[in-house]
Amino acid sequence: MEITVLSTGGTIASTGGDDGKTPTKGGEDLIDAVPGLGELASFTVQQVASVSGFDVTWERATALRAAARRAADESDGIVVTHGTDTMAESAYLLDLTTDLDVPVAFTGAQRPFDQVGTDGPPNLLGAVRTVTHDRVDSGTYLVFDDEVHAARDVVKSHTSALSTFRSPERGPVGEFTPEGLRLFREPRSYAAATASVDEVAAEIPLLTSGLGVDGDALRRVVGLADGPAVDGVVVAGTGLGNTTGAVCRAIAAVREAGVPVVIASRCHEGATAPLYGGDGGGTTLEEFGVLWAGDLPAWKARIKLAVALAVGDGGVDEAFFERGLWEPER
């Protein structure tokens, strides 16, 4: 089989220096660090970027999506090496904006390339084993610590643990055992909506509500005095998707200015629901015409809003945004 490795940097490619760990290794170095990997497939390597996961921009994500589209025409599968900080977002963005005929597996490491016990080689091996498996012929996944997660569901849950990635409420698509890949769900894309868009580059700040949070910061970020300075806003509310009264009033002003607002939850599991009334309650926010993130975490709701804005060509395509949020395909 022919596999394309798209290398973007991240901890998996990082080594130490006077200023801390930074990506210094290329995709070829990563492949060479895994004994016997060449027995599974032939590899073509493309260095798309060399940055840490926390510095992936819209432009870099666009370059990665373009590289994946090209690679899909020439390969049987694609592996993306990526920093863990935003890996789940990049995987979800690719899943939302491409419909490739080959499987894509994102992977990386929690421990740098030059650290004893680095998890990069086994994770890379797992990603290759995933995209070369006879049951996996499409979809975008995140493969880490012997688990295969759907791009739509996976989140980073721990700052440093090797088992950092999990899929709340749904669990992984499969796991690697001594007998091979054990599947729990059908291996495919679980993004209920996809859109082929060339550019996704929206300015969407994310605000978290909590005890005593004021609405002035939201008003300043949106820049209402001089006209909206953003394309949309995502608010990580408390519980089912509620905010302080002050944030609620700021949201009313933002919506009056025509800026789309998505309400997500700070909670790690469960979906949003407009249940409570009063200042900051979900039913009050509902009256302002906010969008609800369902069970998407705020940072993934931000990704989907950006794509919905690109699909809407000047305005948010609400039907695209809402598809799959409440009854995601299992």
**Amino acid at the residue 44:** T
* Sign of the alpha-carbon torsion through 163, 167, 168, 173: negative
CB-based contact 143:193 (threshold 8 Å): no
Residue 217, both tokens:
């910061």
DSSP summary character for residue 242: B
Asked about 84 being catalytic, the answer comes back as: yes
DSSP string, 104-158: EEEE--SS-TTSTT-SHHHHHHHHHHHHTSTT--S-EEEEETTEEEETTT-EE--
DSSP summary character for residue 73: T
Can you name the residues that pair with 155 across neighbouring β-strands? 166
Kindly name the residue from 4, 8, 81, 84 that is annotated as catalytic: 84
* Sign of the alpha-carbon torsion through 109, 110, 112, 118: negative
Asked about 62 being catalytic, the answer comes back as: no
Which residues are identified as catalytic? 11, 84
